[in-house]
Amino acid sequence: MKEQNAGYIRHRMGLAWEMSPGATFSAFHAFLEAGKLAGLRCTRCRKVYLPPRPVCGDCYMPLSEWFEVSDRGSVEGFTVSHHPILDPVTGSARPTPYASLLVRLDGASTSINHYLRGADPRTAAIGMRVRAVWREPRRTLMDLLGFEPTGGGEDAAFPRPLEAPDLKPAARVQVNLDIPFAYAVGRGGRWFCDGLRSGRILASRCGACAKTLVPCRSFCPSCFRRFAESDLREVGPGGAVAAAAGAPSPPLGLIRLDGADTLFVHHVRARRGVRVTALFKPTEERRGDPLDIEAFVPVEASA
Amino acid sequence: MTVHVAGIGRTRYGRDERSIPEMVYEAVTAALADAGVTRDEIDSIVTASIDLFDGKVASSVLITEVVGAVMKEEARVADDGAAAFVHASAMLLSGRKETVLVVAHAKNSEADADALTAWSTDPIHMQSLGLNDLTAAALQADAWLAQGGDPDAMDAVAARRLGVAPAEVASSPVIAEPLREKHRAPLVDGACALVLTCDVRRATCDVGVSGMGLCVEPHYLGDRDLIGCPAAQKAAEQAYRMAGWRPEDVQLVEISAQFAHQEILWTRALRFAEDDGRRSVDGGAINPSGGWFAGNPYVVAGLERIACAAEAIRTGTARRVLAHGCWGPAGQGHAVVLLEGGR
Amino acid sequence: MRRVAIVATGQTDHAKERGDVSQPELIYEAVSRCIEDAELEPRDIDAVVLANMELFEGRMLPDLWCAEAATALFKPCLKIATGGTSGTSGAIAGFYEVASGIFETVLVVGWEKHSEGHTQTGMAMTDPMWDRHVAGGALNNFAISISQFMRTRHASPEAAARIAVKARRNAALNPHAHLKMPGLTVEQVMESRVLAEPVRLLDMCPQSDGACALVWAAEGKAERICPRPAWLQATATRHDKPYLGDHGDRLSTMRTLRSAAAEVYEELEIREPLKEFDVAEIYEPVSYAELAWYEALGFCGEGEASRLAEDGVTELDGELPVNPSGGVLSTNPVGASGVIRAAEAALQIHGRGGKRQVPDVRRALVTGYGVYSWSDVMVLGAEKP
């Protein structure tokens, strides 16, 4: 991830989803509240799937037989991670080191990946017996805090059949994603952004198709010709609003800038047809991005 | 060799409280049953979905089982479902596959579509200005009005599709000038699946694919002819050339327009209103299904148009039909599929 | 059935950070090299397939932002995204589009610009109802599976380190590669920092910024563009279940790769892949994975992969050179990585591999790997199928 260097435009993804757990996870959550870890068993191949899911992928059979699996199991695989990643749930880096386990719960045909808890990460080993550690009350798998070492062998009592749950409409689960991105403006973008810093709007003149394209760019999209710095042309800052739209959000316009053959997109404070000019931010506030232009305003207002 | 639409399956389109795999499974099993084929007879699967709509990485992963792709070939087209349909048809025409399943899904009730589509606009020149599918469409609508577009026609299209009075459209709240709430199709949840086959013994219905076209326009809004919509024109030209048809051969059109003015623009770009500017508003031959305004999710809309067009052939409403899909800000990408009965 | 060949390739100079170019400019660099290399004009390309993992850079429909950099303006264009296999699946999609008879030439371009986003975080955006809060991305997932593989197949860290050394030494012969380490030793790999046990820094692929393009052309046209086209002889794809815990001892099993390879071997009557292929470009995101793929691809028996590596069988001068390009271990722009595999294999058949050229390549194996166990297999050859 690129940090605060010039030549990048940053956007923060602050998005939220209201995701449906659906019938399968709603039932799983209902069982969990009753203290049971529940999977779905395929009537044909008899695999017990955890997490539960609508269909057995091998048999293409819809799954409907609920079985309880144990909250104890065996470690099938593990790692001790020293590599912090930005957690997509929290948006911050995970502390290291930590041990990640792949655990086969007694009675399940699939495994679950989670953390080792209550033990030195270096003690993780294949075949180690572990038990789920919960935060009460148990509502979703977010309340599973990890697995701690435990004694004993495999519990043959699992899987054991469960009554099909009485399904109630499940509430949606909010899922957020709040992480930063930084996009390199590149060769063409750098010309353009440097131009904005000096209060100029730059376009590229294509010698082959005889068009002046704004914003300037590093190649012609029509004839694929590579543009050089010598192809740069200053256009505007005056022009006419060809279309204006968007209110109640900040109105956007398509602006026919003087000297350009294509339209420029930006904020406008004028209606369609009005002569406008670029209102630049004061030099010291410019950062070399499109928002260095505050908006296009009527020529009279700018005077 | 001819590709046939052998099976159609879909969920109800609306707010859906099921998970995505549960929802997709319904559409897939319905399509397989309609085609009279089993999962084992599917050679390949083409899915259409978009990670940000699903809020998950590699958004075809969680539907692998329900589309029957475990230990099979699957390709995800991360555009509209109509593009996935074109790709699936190309796979069949290669002669290496006999039966392909195409599936599209999205749940637009799970997140604000405009917040998501902002991430489809150029992050250098457009995203920070507030461009997204809604504001791009609003600019397009105003550009059209500037060239003499009739605001009443926009109201009339929306009113007809939604089954309300034009005055109700004209008095609905402004969402992005000049667009009002009822100028936009409802965004909902759902999945659509089609079974395509070139195995005539297996073709349970008599709907053949006669022509296809795909085309993309420039991305930067100021580079584009937002009114002429050349990508829609060119996609249609490819399809007509492949089919050997002319626009007047088409009896029924299913157009993917999320905004009322786009139905008018796409209709013209697809060469249907040249001699009758009102046909898009009054003619029953355009979007008898209600089009996107009947309520579709993103991604699914284009595949659903193809499904509706195929059904029109099945029911004998029309013999030659055109279905259209589009994606991206102000309709940057377009797909056109020509279907014919009785082949 | 229509025969189709790769007739041109082009790639960027891959690096940790290509801050000098935007995403479309990165693609432009690969695409312009690709078409100039074959003396093609943009108008000679009928349609375009793009391959990329959109969420790694936080994008939706990035194919629309980048299409014009791939000569796709006003042309048919779509994007394939299937995780790590995006590039090979994109290449296969391009093949089908030409094979359909609709197009004579199709350009495929894959790209990723990891420096602009958070790849491990993107990879951890798994099912929020199940394991998103604990998902560790490809690194942790591989490390867990490697612990199983080492136990089942007795894969040794030394053998894995040899793979890592081979990759970076080969990369030093490839002007486009990201990690070029001509003097790397097994000891250096085994002493490098532990990322996730037992995976050390030099066992793991880098995250690269890069793009790679190739052009498919139909028989008749292909021979006019390229004197020695790389014909697609067979291809197969297998996907598998959606959760990490669904795959058991996945590196040892790798049923998708075994099954896809078995299908193409049967179609081409290949019985001894180690002898019948002249070169292989396989998708190995971590050193140990290459050992696992040797077994799944039938280069050796179960538990014999370490010996194969230690005997140098897959070195550049060995019986079957694997990844003369330096592989994913040296260069990994995810959406491009699969396209790079196909392009590098085609380059070997074209006889234009420069310092990494293997003598007289008649048949090349290409694989793609993605998600937890998705596989693509392609066989390219100098002979028409």
Interchain contact, C102 vs B93, CB within 8 Å: yes
pLDDT band per the 50, 70, 90 thresholds, residue A93: confident
Interchain contact, B327 vs C53, CB within 8 Å: no
Predicted confidence at residue B13, as pLDDT, reads: 98
3-state SS class at A153: coil
One of 3.30.499.10, 1.10.3720.10, 3.40.47.10, 1.20.1250.20 is the CATH number of B207-341, namely: 3.40.47.10
Bridge-based pairing of strands A61-62 and A112-115 is unpaired
Predicted confidence at residue B279, as pLDDT, reads: 46
Chain C neighbours among B 249-288 (CB < 8 Å)?
none
Q: In sequence order, what are the residues at sequence separation of 6 or more whose Cβ sits closer than 8 angstroms to the Cβ of residue C253?
A: C247
Helix ranges (DSSP H) in C100-155: 119-123, 137-153
pLDDT digits (tens, 9 = 90+) for B265-279: 999 898 775 434 344
Query: From the CA of A176, how many Å to the nearest CA of chain B?
Result: 9
Strand partners, B10: B192
| HEC-encoded secondary structure of chain B | CCEEEEEEEECCCECCCCCHHHHHHHHHHHHHHHHCCCHHHCCEEEEECCHHHHCCCCCCHHHCCCCCCECCEEEEECCCHHHHHHHHHHHHHCCCCCEEEEEEEEECCCCCHHHHHHHHCCCCCCHHHCCCHHHHHHHHHHHHHHCCCCHHHHHHHHHHHHCCCHHHHHCCCEEECCEEHHHECCECEEEEEEEEECCCCCCCCCEEEEEEEEEECCCCHHHCCCCCCHHHHHHHHHHHHHHCCCHHHCCEEECCCCEHHHHHHHHHHCCCCCCCCCHHHHCCCECCCCHHHHCECCCHHHHHHHHHHHHHHHCCCCCEEEEEEEECCCCCEEEEEEEEECC
Bridge-based pairing of strands A211-213 and A48-49 is unpaired
Contact C315, C166 (CB under 8 A): yes
Q: How far apart are the first and last CA of chain B?
A: 11
> Is B207-341 the same fold as B3-111+190-197?
yes
pLDDT band per the 50, 70, 90 thresholds, residue B315: very high
pLDDT band per the 50, 70, 90 thresholds, residue B284: low
> For the residues C40-64, what does the mean pLDDT come to?
96
pLDDT band per the 50, 70, 90 thresholds, residue B204: low
Q: Before A51, cis peptide (omega within 30)?
A: yes
Interchain contact, B115 vs A15, CB within 8 Å: yes
Helix ranges (DSSP H) in chain A: 22-33, 186-197, 299-302
Query: From the CA of C28, how many Å to the nearest CA of chain A?
Result: 8
Chain A neighbours among B 26-65 (CB < 8 Å)?
39-40, 52, 55, 64-65
The answer, for B110 touching chain A at a CB cutoff of 8 Å, is: yes
- Mean pLDDT, rounded, of chain C: 96
- From chain A, the residues in CB contact with B123 under 8 A are 9, 11, 181, 183
pLDDT digits (tens, 9 = 90+) for A209-255: 999 999 999 999 999 999 999 999 999 999 999 999 988 888 999 99
- From chain C, the residues in CB contact with A219 under 8 A are 25, 28, 32, 69
Contact B273, B249 (CB under 8 A): no
Interchain contact, B223 vs A262, CB within 8 Å: yes
Facing A265 at nearest CB: one of B21, B107, B129: B129
Number of H helices and E strands in chain A, helices first, is: 3, 21
Chain B neighbours among C 331-370 (CB < 8 Å)?
370
pLDDT digits (tens, 9 = 90+) for C98-119: 999 999 999 999 999 999 998 8
As a whole number of angstroms, the distance between CA C257 and CA C278 comes to: 19
Whether residue A301 is predicted with pLDDT greater than 80 in this model: the reply is no
- Mean pLDDT, rounded, of chain B: 93
Interchain contact, A246 vs B130, CB within 8 Å: yes
Predicted confidence at residue B1, as pLDDT, reads: 87
Interchain contact, C128 vs B230, CB within 8 Å: no
> What is the CATH class of B3-111+190-197?
alpha beta
Whether residue A134 is predicted with pLDDT greater than 80 in this model: the reply is yes
pLDDT digits (tens, 9 = 90+) for A78-87: 999 998 877 7
A108-138 burial: b if 16+ Cβ within 10 Å, else e: bbbbbbbbbbeeebeebebebbbbbbeeeeb
Phi-psi region of C254 (alpha: psi -120 to 50; beta: other; left: phi over 0): left
Least confident of A93-102, A107-116, A290-299, C362-371: A93-102
Predicted confidence at residue C134, as pLDDT, reads: 87
Nearest to B97 by CA among B106, B108, B88: B88
pLDDT digits (tens, 9 = 90+) for A7-37: 999 999 999 999 999 999 999 999 999 999 9
Facing C59 at nearest CB: one of B53, B77, B119: B119
Contact C165, C322 (CB under 8 A): no
Q: What is the pTM of this model?
A: 0.97
> For the residues C191-215, what does the mean pLDDT come to?
97
Predicted confidence at residue A6, as pLDDT, reads: 74
The answer, for A19 touching chain C at a CB cutoff of 8 Å, is: yes
pLDDT digits (tens, 9 = 90+) for C257-296: 999 999 999 999 999 999 999 999 999 999 999 999 999 9
Whether residue B322 is predicted with pLDDT greater than 80 in this model: the reply is yes
Beta-carbon count within 10 A of A248 CB: 10
Radius of gyration of chain A from its Cα atoms, rounded to whole angstroms: 30
pLDDT digits (tens, 9 = 90+) for B65-119: 999 999 999 999 999 999 999 999 999 999 999 999 999 999 999 999 999 999 9
> How large is the greatest C-alpha to C-alpha distance in chain C, in angstroms?
55
Helix ranges (DSSP H) in A101-232: 186-197
Residue-range domain boundaries for chain B: 3-111+190-197, 207-341
Amino acid at B21: P
Predicted confidence at residue B278, as pLDDT, reads: 41
